[in-house]
Amino acid sequence: MIDKSTRTHRQVEHASDFGRVAVLYGGQSAERSVSLKSGQAVLEALQQQSVDAHAIDIDRDAITQLQRGGFDRAFIVLHGRGGEDGVMQALLQWLEIPYTGSGVMASALAMDKVMTKRVWQSAGLPTPAYVVLDGSQAGFDQAARLDLPVIIKPACEGSSIGMTKVERSEDIQSAWDKARQVDDIVLAERWISGGEYTVAIVADQALPAIRVETPHSFYDFDAKYQADTTRYHCPCGLSADQERALLDLAKQAFTLLGCSGWGRVDVLIDQEGQAWLIEVNTVPGMTDHSLVPMAAKAAGMDLGELVWRILETSVVESIGKVRGVSA
């Protein structure tokens, strides 16, 4: 059995030590198109370093593919449901195939924005006020009392899918209807005016923060993956002390959820300088528009080194002996 809770990463010097690697991508979530691009980038970067990597576009036959493939480990590049929410992690643990990134519980918690906020609030970490909407007028009125504008979002969806910024109370229900098309649980969150920042974490090390600037009303799907008008600033423009505090907060938020290996923490900083935690992505994008490769480049890592270090998170020392690595 793979133990994610007591693990430390082991550095790997030779590609052959990774063995046969399954790059899991695609899937059936709303983020399939992004995952296909991310997975292809990861596959090519691994193969260029002589890693014996093979792509698997995950479908309902995933168990058979993984069992018959003779894989020594898996690099998970599945975004959204079925890949980032603990489901694939649980399957791989059952098959005793080591994998990259966070374990089952942490993946499930981080995918659920409501549960994530509850964990952070219990520890006193700053996250915007919110309400869970049940479709009732009383719930919509409660959302309006958060102070407009608010952001309406599905609890368990990524890439800003199903999200709407609402400026008028009469538009809350239609935004709820839109979010309900992709998730049964919908929340309204207080809008934070200020700068949007993201902190990538690789091998449990926080990389330089990136400030995201977009002419869109918020950093939506188009701004993330399609628009050429989005600007990424790294250095992020904060003072050294401010950035250090931001990185520390991101690592604390990441660790508190039980996350490990790699991921990305999204934060808003308001006009008074207060940081507000928004969410954690445990399998961030790896496309040419993605933020983790940008942060890695700022830290002196090219894509090849980045994917190597992420793959190393599947090679762990646990309970006094090495697990998940070829002898």
DSSP string, 44-113: HHHHTTT-EEEEEE--TTHHHHHHHTT-SEEEE---STTTSSSHHHHHHHHHT--BSS--HHHHHHHH-H
Residue-level pLDDT at 258 = 96
Q: Is 170 a catalytic residue?
A: no
Residue-level pLDDT at 227 = 54
pLDDT digits (tens, 9 = 90+) for 163-175: 899 999 899 999 9
CA atoms within 13 A on the CB side of 254: 29
SS3 146: coil
Residue-level pLDDT at 289 = 77
- Name the residue among 185, 181, 188 with its Cα closest to residue 162: 181
One of 25, 99, 197, 225 is an active-site residue; which one? 225
Q: DSSP assignment, residue 215? A: S
One of 112, 189, 220, 279 is an active-site residue; which one? 279
The list of the chain residues with pLDDT below 70 reads: 1-10, 158-160, 215-228, 317-327
Q: Is 272 a catalytic residue?
A: no
- pTM score: 0.88
CB-based contact 199:247 (threshold 8 Å): yes
Q: Is 10 a catalytic residue?
A: no
Residue-level pLDDT at 136 = 87
Q: Is 112 a catalytic residue?
A: no
Residue-level pLDDT at 9 = 60
One of 38, 107, 281, 290 is an active-site residue; which one? 281
One of 85, 285, 309, 312 is an active-site residue; which one? 285
* CA 218/CA 25 separation, integer angstroms: 27
Domains of the chain, earliest start first: 8-101 (3.40.50.20), 110-126+193-298 (3.30.470.20), 130-190 (3.30.1490.20)
One of 264, 309, 314, 324 is an active-site residue; which one? 264
Q: Is 147 a catalytic residue?
A: no
Q: Is 195 a catalytic residue?
A: no
Q: Is 31 a catalytic residue?
A: yes
CA atoms within 13 A on the CB side of 308: 17
One of 266, 309, 314, 324 is an active-site residue; which one? 266
One of 38, 159, 260, 314 is an active-site residue; which one? 159
Q: Is 285 a catalytic residue?
A: yes
Element (DSSP H or E) covering residue 262: strand 262-270
